[in-house]
Amino acid sequence: MKNIDQAKAAREKAYAPYSNYRVGAALELNNGEFVHGANIENASFGLSNCAERSAIYSAYSQGYKKNDFKSLTIIANHKKPVSPCGACRQVMYELLPEGCEIILANIKGDQIKFSKEELLPYGFNFEEINIESS
C-alpha cells in the first residue's frame, strides 16, 4: 500500500467525536513498514492528541529511532492539504531525521511536500541551550 493509502487507513482509526475532523498519519520506516497514527480526542478538549504526534510517539514507543524514519504522510478532509499545528511542527522538528519527507495531503488528492525545517524555521533545539549553574 502506498503512503496516501496508508494515511487513509490510519485516518479510519481516528477518535474525533468532538470536532468530527478525522486525521490520519502514516510514518514510513526505512524497512518498508508503516506506523499509523490518528487524532485521539477527549471530552477535556485540550488533552486531544494530533494524528502526526500519535504516529511519532507510537513509533518511538515501539522502539524505533529517528534514523528509522523515511517519510510522514498526513491526511484529512481539508480544502487544501492539511496543515500541522505548531506543537506538531516542533515535535516533528526534534523527532524526525533530516531529509525525512513530510507529505501533507487531503482526501480529494491534493499533496504538498515539505522538510521539517520548512515547516518550522528556527525551531527550538535543546543542543543550543546554554545551561547556567545556579
The three-class DSSP label of residue 21 is coil
Binding span for ligand THU by CB under 6 A among 27-35, 43-51, 110-118, 122-130:
43-51
Give the CA-trace dihedral at 15, 17, 21, 26, to 10 degrees: 0
Give the CA-trace dihedral at 94, 100, 101, 107, to 10 degrees: -60
Find the binding residues for ligand THU in span 48-77 (CB under 6 A): 48, 50-52, 74
Nearest C-alpha neighbor of 64 from the set 51, 55, 77, 75: 55
Q: Considering only residues 62, 67, 85, 111, which one is a binding residue for ligand THU as defined by CB under 6 A?
A: 85
Tell me whether residue 30 or residue 42 sits nearer to ligand THU (CB atom).
42
For position 82 contacting ligand THU by CB under 6 A, the verdict is yes
Q: Contact residues for ligand THU (CB under 6 A)?
A: 16, 19, 21, 23, 39, 41, 48, 50-52, 74, 82, 84-85, 88
